Amino acid sequence: MKPAMIRLIIVIPVVAILNSSLAQSLLLNGSFEQPADVGTTNGYAFFPAGSTAIPGWTTVLNGVEYFNPSRASSGTAVSYHGVAEDGASCVDLAPLDYVGGGLQQSFPTTNGSSYEVSFFLGTAAYSGRDGSAHCLATAATATNSFAVTNTGQFAQWVPESFTFTAVSTNTTLTFSTGDDAKVRFVFLDNVKVVPHDSPVTIDLGFYPGIRVNGRIGRSYVVEYIETLTSTNWNQLQYVTLQTSSQFVFDTTSPNRTNRFYRAVELP
């Protein structure tokens, strides 16, 4: 298949130390890696409505539970129930014995511009929970409902996304649920907001991971050459982005110091 358009190609030697992607998220602490152990017990804490204990975020409704699923279950009993989608920590939008909870963050936007929100929604079936979860996400005039199901006892994560058009120079993104905490876990992690017209870029993750940053739902082909003077690009992998940032893996490289990459958007 011949690529029809190259939005922006950045060719990067694998050994380079890279700057942040042009598609860097506008949110602070989108993967909830802070406050980490500060103010928690065994990686767990309940933050009621109005709390700013999770940097960048303010809790709403009945608040949220903040936890490391590999270290804590409900309350403070140490137990393993999977891992966060990104990093160590995540939140449960259905806190403690309440019905409904959530959190929100405000960030600068350009009035009339389009933005893409991506996140992972998770749940599990244990401690009497039924393995379903429901989430409401709002930003500007956009309101979107999401639902996931997992019949296993370990946390499973599903990528979700939506777009919105800013109506002011400051937008508030809110995640909430009306689920009963005694019936459902509603896990949230790895939240990002990027301008909808962000160009595609690639950068280096943990080798052999190559991160493609682009537009959700768009397809790209990742290609490589062995020297910068070469014009014979080799196809490595096709990828359709489920989130604004996604890894592909190069397990074929015979010499990681002499391989360069680009990402090309397909029609």
Q: What is the mean pLDDT of residues 115-140?
A: 93
CA 168 from centroid of its chain's CA atoms: 24
- For the record, the structure tokens of 214 come out as 């682009």
162 and 175 Cβ atoms separated by less than 8 Å = no
Is it the case that residue 185 has pLDDT exceeding 90?
A: yes
| pLDDT for the residue numbered 207 | 63
Q: Residue 6: pLDDT band by 50, 70, 90 thresholds?
A: very low
pLDDT single digits (tens) 14-38: 332 223 334 588 999 999 999 998 9
Q: Mind listing the domains of the chain with CATH numbers?
A: 12-23+198-265 (2.60.40), 44-194 (2.60.120.260)
- Dihedral angle sign, alpha carbons of residues 229, 234, 237, 243: positive
Phi first, then psi: give them for residue 258, nearest 5 degrees: -125, 35
90 and 43 Cβ atoms separated by less than 8 Å = no
| pLDDT for the residue numbered 257 | 58
| pLDDT for the residue numbered 199 | 64
| pLDDT for the residue numbered 198 | 60
pTM > 0.95: no
Output 228 or 138, whichever has higher pLDDT.
138
Is it the case that residue 123 has pLDDT exceeding 80?
A: yes
**Amino acid letter, 29:** N
Q: Half-sphere exposure of residue 33, counting CA atoms within 13 Å on the CB side? A: 10
Helix (H, G, I), strand (E, B) or coil at 258: helix
Q: Half-sphere exposure of residue 241, counting CA atoms within 13 Å on the CB side? A: 28
pLDDT single digits (tens) 32-84: 999 998 988 888 899 999 999 999 999 999 999 999 988 865 544 456 678 99
Cα–Cα distance measured from residue 75 to residue 227, given in angstroms and rounded to the nearest whole number: 55
Q: Residue 183: pLDDT band by 50, 70, 90 thresholds?
A: very high
150 and 131 Cβ atoms separated by less than 8 Å = yes
| pLDDT for the residue numbered 181 | 93
Is it the case that residue 220 has pLDDT exceeding 50?
A: yes
CA angle 126, 128, 132 (to 5 degrees): 70
Beta strand 170-180 with 260-265 is unpaired
119 and 190 Cβ atoms separated by less than 8 Å = yes
Output 116 or 172, whichever has higher pLDDT.
172
| pLDDT for the residue numbered 169 | 95
- Mean pLDDT score across all residues of the chain: 83
Output 226 or 114, whichever has higher pLDDT.
114
C-alpha pair distances (Å), 249 with each of 205, 209, 239, 259:
10, 5, 11, 13
Cα–Cα distance measured from residue 10 to residue 26, given in angstroms and rounded to the nearest whole number: 21
pLDDT single digits (tens) 87-120: 999 999 999 889 999 999 999 999 888 898 999 9
